[in-house]
Structure 1
Amino acid sequence: MPECPFANLLDPDIYAQGMPYEALQKFRQAGPVVKMDDPLTGVPYWAVVGQQELDYVSKNPALFSSALRSSFPMEHPQDMVDLIFSHTIINMDPPRHQKVRRIVREAFTPKRVDSYEPAFRAHAKRILDNVVARGECEFVEEVAAELPLIAILELLGVPLSDRKQFFDWTNTMIFADDPDMATSELDGQIAAGDCINYALQLAAKHRSEPMNNITGALLDGEVDGEGISEEDFAWMFILILVGGNESTRTVISHGMRLLMEHPEQLQYLVDNPAKIPAAIDEILRFNTAFIQMRRTATQDIELGGQAIKAGDKVILHYHAVNHDEAVFGDDAMQFDVRRAERMPKLAQQVRSFGIGQHFCIGSHLAQLELLVMFEEIIPRLRKPQANGELEYIRSYFVNGIKKMPIRFEASH
C-alpha cells in the first residue's frame, strides 16, 4: 500500500499553495477509505477518497448523519452544533431535511433560474466592460466575485448598494483559517452576527412589503404546519449567501487559472464557443469549490474494507473523488476541456455539487452563472496571462483563490 504523503487532510497549510494533486493521488491509491489522525484537534477520522464509497455515504443519511456533529469538517463545540448549525438544511437529516428543503427548492427551480439569464448576461457584460479597456485586472474581486454576489443578493432581496459589505462579511466568515483574510475566529462570529441582524431586518421588511424571492419563499414557507422561525431564516440566509456567492466565485477563478495554464484549450473554446458548456463540467471537476464535508457514523459499519464505529468522524473529500482514475481514466489528473466529447456522461460523474439528499440546491443557478461568465470572458479577454503572484486561500474547506492579477489583449 502506498505511503500517504502527509498525516492530515484537515490541515489548512497543505492547501495554502493550491490543491496538492499528486499527494491526493497517493491517498486514492491507499484508499478508498483511509484512517487519519488530526493532531490539530485530536479527533481521528476516516477520509473517503473513492467515488463509490462517497456516494454510499451520501445516499445513506440514516447510517451517516449530517446533524449529529454538522456537515462542516472542522471541530465545533456540541452546543454550537445544537444551537446554531442545526438551523441550516446542510446540517439536517431526514425527515426534517426534506421538509425544509422543499421550501427553499421553490426559489431554485430550473424554470425560475432560467428566467434570470437576461439579467445575468447584462451584468456580465458590464463587469467585462469595466476591465476590458485597461488590459489588466485583479481577476478575483473585479471579475469572478461580481456576478455570483450580485445574483445571490438580488435573489435574497439585498440592495446592490450593500454589495461590498456582504463581500467583506462573506470573506471574514468563511476564511477564518487564513491569517490574511480574517484576524480571528471571533471576527468570523462578529461578521455572522452582522449578517443575522441584516437578515432579521429583511424579515421585518417582508412582513410589510412582501418579496417574491428566496427570502419571501423562506419566510412564507411552512414545516408541519408551522412557519420557519426567524432564527432558522437568519441562519439559512447566511448559508445561501455563502454557498451561492463564494463557491461560484472560486470556480470562475480556478477556471480562468486553468485556461491560462492551457492556452491551446482556451483557443479551442475561442474557436468553438458551443463547447463552453461541456468545458464548464471539466472546470467543475478539476477544481471543486468545497473541498470536503463531514458525516458522523450512527452505527458500526464496514465501508471500503474498513471497520467504522458508531460516532466516528467521516470526511468526504470531493476533490480527491473528482480525480478518481477508476471513474475518469488514467488521465484523470489532467485538465481537458474536451473530456466530455469522449465521456458523454461526465456531468453525472462529477461530485462538485455532492450527491444524494444534500445535492447542492443551487447547482442550476451556479451553472447558469458559470456559463454566462465564461461565454463573456472567453471571447473578450484574449491571450490572458499572469500579471503578478497568484495567492491561494489557506483553507481545507474552500478551495479559493485570494488574488489573481492578470493582463490580456482586449477584444470588443
Structure 2
Amino acid sequence: MSECPFANFQNMIDPDTYANGMPYDELARIRQSGPIHYMEDTTMGVPYWLVTGRKEIDAISKNPTLFSSEERTALADEHSPEDIQAIHSNMTINMDPPRQLKSRKIVRATFTPRAVDSYEARFRQHAKNIVDAVAARGECEFVEEVAAELPLLAILELCGIPAEDRKDFFEWTNTMMFNQDSSLAVDKEAAEMASFKVIEYAMKLSAQHQENPKDDIIGALLRGTEREEGLSEDEFVWFFLMLIAAGNESTRTVTTHGMRMLMEHPDQLEYLVENPDKIPGACEEMLRYNTAFILMRRTAMEDTEINGHQIKKGAKIIMHYHTVNHDEGVFGDDAMEFDVRRAERMPDLYNQHRAFGVGQHFCLGTHLARLEMRVMFEEIIPRMRHPKLAGKVEYTRSNLVAGIKCMPITFDPEVKSGEQAA
C-alpha cells in the first residue's frame, strides 16, 4: 500500500492539538478508519505513521530490533537543541536492549510488589496530611495542592531527598516535561537548565552515597543486586533524571484527570463513596480513560510491513496510547464513556489498557503509581465531598503528557466533630 497522506485528519503530534484537552472525537474518527495512517506534519516537517491499533502497538513495542527507541529517541520532537538531544540519548526510555536492560533489572528488583506494598502506611499518612491541609477550607487548586503532592513527596522520600527540596523538583520537572507550553517553561533553554539542575543534584546524591551508603532506592541503584552490578555515576545520573520526571508527572496527571472525571460524573463519585472497596478498580478506569503519556515514537530499522502498509527503513512511527485505550474492539461499545464500574465487568481491565505501555518499555513504576493513586483517592473521596469545578480547567500544551496545569475546585468544608457539637 502506498504512502498516501491523510490530509483530512488533525495532526496528532502538534502540541496545539492538546492545548484544550484530549481531542476524543477526532481520535475516534481516526481510529475507526483503520489502525495505521500515513500523516503529514506541517509543524516538524517529518511525515509519520500514526498507529492506533492495539495489536499493532503491541507488536511494535515488543520488537525493539525492528522498531528502535534509540535511533532517534522515543520523543516526537524533531528540533531539540544538541544539549537536550545528548540528555535524551542517555535516558532509559530512549534506549534499546541490551543497553536499556541494566537499569531495568536493578529497578525491577527494587520496585517489587512486596517492596512497594511496604510503603503503604507511609503513603497513606502523607495522603491524609495532604487532604488535612485543604479539607477545612472547602476549596483548593487541586493540581498543585493535592495531585502533585504525594507522587513527588513519595519518590523524593524513597530517594532520601529532604522534603524541603521538593518545591525545586516540582518546578524543575514542570519545566522539563512541559517545555512545549510557554506558560510553564520560557523556552527550550529553560528545559535544558532545569535538566542540568536535576543532574547536578543527582551527582551530589551519588557522592554522598560513596561517603555514606544508604539503604534506599539511590543505594540500590548504585550498589546493584546479587545478580547485577550497580550503575556507574553517569548511568545513575541519567536514570535519576527520568525517574524523577516521569515518576512525578505521570501519577499527578492521572490523579488530576481522575478527579475531573469524578466531578463530571457525580453519580459515579457517590457510588465510590458508598462502595470504597471499588476504588482500586475505579483507578484502573482513570488510568485507561486518561492515560498520562499521549504518544511515543519508534524508528523503523529496515523496510517492513504493518497491517498491509509498506513501512520504509528510517520511517517515523508514532504510537498513540490514548486512542488505543478507547478501542471499542477491546473495551466494548461504551469504550469512550468513563465508567468506574468497568473493572467489575472486565476483571482484567488492568491488563488490557496500555496506560503503562507494553513490551520492552513497560513502566517499572506501575505498582508504585497504583498504590499512590489508590491511597490518594481513598482519602479524597470520603472527605472532599460534593466537589465542583470553581474555574476553568487549564490543560498543558504538550504532545507527550496529557497534563492539567490548573484545576480550582470547591467542596463541602470538613467540620471536625468537636466543632460541629459546639
Quickly name the TM-score band, shorter chain normalised. over 0.9
Are 2:338 and 1:350 equivalent residues in the alignment?
Answer: no
Identify the match of residue 151 of structure 1 among 149, 154, 161.
Answer: 154
Aligned with 1:309 (options 309, 312, 316): 312
Kindly state the Cα deviation for residue 94 of structure 1 after the two structures are TM-superposed.
Answer: 1.5
Q: Work out the CA distance in 2 between the residues paired with 1:225 and 1:361.
A: 17
Other structure's SS at 2:100 match: helix
Conserved in 2, the CA contact under 8 Å of 1:5 and 1:23? no
Report the Cα distance in structure 1 between the residues aligned to 2:229 and 2:365, rounded to whole angstroms: 25
Please name the residue that 2:420 is paired with: none
Q: CA deviation at 1:221?
A: 2.7
Give identity over the alignment, percent.
Answer: 58
Structure 2 counterpart SS, 1:382: coil
Residues 212 and 4 of structure 1, relative CA distance in 2, 3 Å threshold: farther
Contact in 2 for aligned 1:5/1:26 (Cα 8 Å)? no
Q: Is the 8 A contact 2:105 2:228 kept in 1?
A: no
Deviation, structure 1 residue 223: 12
Are the equivalent residues in 2 in contact too, given 1:4–1:27 (CA < 8 A)?
Answer: no
Q: Give the SS at the match of 1:30.
A: coil
Instruction: Give a deviation string over 1:354-380, Cα, whole Å, max 9, x none.
Output: 011211000000000000000000000
1:165 aligns with 2:177: no
Counterpart code for 1:153: L
Which amino acid in the other structure matches residue 291 of structure 2?
T
Is the CA contact 2:141–2:409 (under 8 Å) kept in the aligned structure 1? Answer: yes
Asked if 1:209 is matched to 2:232, the reply is no
Contact 1:291 1:318 in 2 (8 A): yes
Deviations 1:252-305 (Å, cap 9, x if unpaired)? 000000000000000000001011111111000000000001111111111122
1:325 matches 2:325: no
Distance 2:179 2:226 in 1: 33
What residue number does 2:51 align with? 48
Alignment of 1:197 with 2:190, yes or no, is no
> Would the aligned equivalents of 1:4 and 1:23 in 2 still touch at CA under 8 Å?
no
Equivalent in 285, 288, 301 of residue 298 of structure 1:
301
Partner of 1:64: 67
Query: Deviation at 1:201?
Result: 0.6
Give the direction of change, closer, same or farther, for the CA distance of 1:270–1:363 in structure 2 (3 Å limit).
same
Does structure 1 retain, via aligned residues, the 8 Å contact 2:102–2:228?
A: no
1:91 aligns with 2:113: no
Q: Does 1:109 align with 2:115?
A: no
Residues 1:130 and 2:133 aligned together: yes
Query: Matches of 1:77 and 1:17 in 2, distance apart?
Result: 24
Q: Distance in 1 between matches of 2:348 and 2:227?
A: 38
AA matched with 1:141: E
Distance in 1 between residues matched to 2:51 and 2:127, nearest whole Å: 37
Distance, in Å, in 1 between the alignment partners of 2:384 and 2:251 is: 19
Deviation at 1:219, TM superposition (A): 1.5
Q: Per-residue displacement from partner, 1:309-329 (whole Å, max 9, x unpaired)?
A: 111111110001000111111
Distance in 1, Cα, partners of 2:401 & 2:12: 13
Q: Give the residue type in structure 1 aligned to 2:342.
A: R
Return the letter of the residue paired with 1:28: R
Summarize the Cα distance change of 1:262–1:122 in structure 2 as closer, same or farther, 3 Å threshold. Answer: same
Question: Aligned to 1:307, what secondary structure does the other structure show?
Answer: strand
Task: Tell me which amino acid in the other structure corresponds to 2:278.
Answer: K
Tell me which residue corresponds to 1:175: 178
Hey, what does 2:411 align to over in structure 1?
A: 408
2:27: which partner in 1? 24
Q: Distance in 2 between matches of 1:175 and 1:165?
A: 15
Gaps of 5+ in 1: none
Preserved contact between residue 174 and residue 184 of structure 2 (Cα < 8 Å) = yes
TM-score by length of 1: 0.96
Contact map agreement 1:69 1:78 (CA 8 A) in 2: no
Residue 410 (structure 1) shift: 3.4
What letter matches 2:302 in structure 1? Q
Q: Quick one: distance in 1 between partners of 2:38 and 2:371?
A: 38
Distance 1:394 1:155 in 2: 30
Check conservation: 2:7, 2:39, Cα contact below 8 A. Answer: no
> What corresponds to 1:118 in structure 2?
121
Runs (5+) with no aligned partner, structure 2: 417-422
> Secondary structure at 1:84's aligned position in 2?
helix
Number of aligned residue pairs: 411
Deviations 1:169-223 (A, max 9, x none): 0111111111110110100000101111111011111111112222112212389
1:255 aligns with 2:262: no
2:318 matched to 1:334?
A: no
Distance 1:17 1:153 in 2: 31
Quote the residue 1:379 is aligned against: 382
Match of residue 228, structure 1, among 226, 231, 242: 231
Using the TM superposition, give the Cα deviation of residue 107 of structure 1 relative to its aligned residue in structure 2, in angstroms.
Answer: 2.0
Tell me how far apart the structure 2 counterparts of residues 131 and 5 of structure 1 sit (CA, whole Å).
Answer: 47
Stretches (4+) displaced over 4 A: 76-82, 222-227
Note the C-alpha offset of 1:76.
4.7
- 2:142 corresponds to: 139
| Distance in 2 between residues matched to 1:141 and 1:211, nearest whole Å | 30
| Correspondence 1:269-280 to 2 at 5 A | 269-280=272-283
CA distance in 2, matches of 1:27, 1:17: 19
| Cα distance between partner residues in 2 of 1:314 and 1:69 | 11
Q: CA deviation at 1:164?
A: 0.5
Of residues 234, 239, 248, the one that matches 2:242 is 239
